Amino acid sequence: MMAKTAIIFLLAGVLLVAGCTSGYNNNQSNAGVSNNSGGSAGSNLSKLTYEPFTKEKYDAAKDSGKIIFLEFYANWCPTCSVQKPLIEQAFREINNPSIAGFQVNFNDSDTDADEIALAKKFGVIYQHTHVIVDSKENILLKSLESWSKDTVIQKLNSVGFN
């Protein structure tokens, strides 16, 4: 009986690790955060962004009527580390000022109270969850799958932007 219990716990651990690292993709780049590049400082508000979450910037995106892409990220998660440069690449290619993107810390040492509240609001219970909402915070799409750069672009296009 003890051996069966040990095997079950071992299998559960393997499945947990596999779930956190599923979808590993070698299409990484050494891209940094793709914030506003080029243009004048006065035009930054109209440019596409993917940046770390702050409540102030999130509220400003909502108030300006943007579609908002949220990537719930944990600094200890290997899948999250792989997804980050792919999402950044996608945001550089989309270049649509009607979309804002935020990396939201989730269940890690950098998570703050506003990020915890946002995760609860959208029912996020796992890191590397993608959520796309409209400016009224209606969920347009929610996924736990690992996404390639092309999938990020396709999913954002599927909610009406191309």
Q: Is 14 inside a domain boundary? A: no
Q: Is 9 inside a domain boundary? A: no
Q: What total of structural domains would you count in the chain?
A: 1
Q: Is 6 inside a domain boundary? A: no
Q: Can you tell me the mean pLDDT for 1-16?
A: 43
Q: Is 87 inside a domain boundary? A: yes
Q: Which domain holds residue 79?
A: 44-158
Q: Is 114 inside a domain boundary? A: yes
Q: Is 16 inside a domain boundary? A: no
Q: Is the pTM of this model over 0.95?
A: no
Query: Tell me, what CATH number does 142's domain have?
Result: 3.40.30.10
Q: With contact defined as beta carbons under 8 Å apart, do 137 and 145 qualify?
A: no
Q: Is 34 inside a domain boundary? A: no
Q: Can you tell me the mean pLDDT for 17-27?
A: 37
Check pLDDT > 70 for residue 24. no
State the pLDDT confidence band at 145, using cuts at 50, 70 and 90.
very high
Cβ-count burial 33-60 (b if 16+ within 10 Å, e if not): ebeeeeeeeeeeeeebbbbebeeeebee
State the pLDDT confidence band at 99, using cuts at 50, 70 and 90.
very high
Retrieve residue 132's tokens.
């796309």
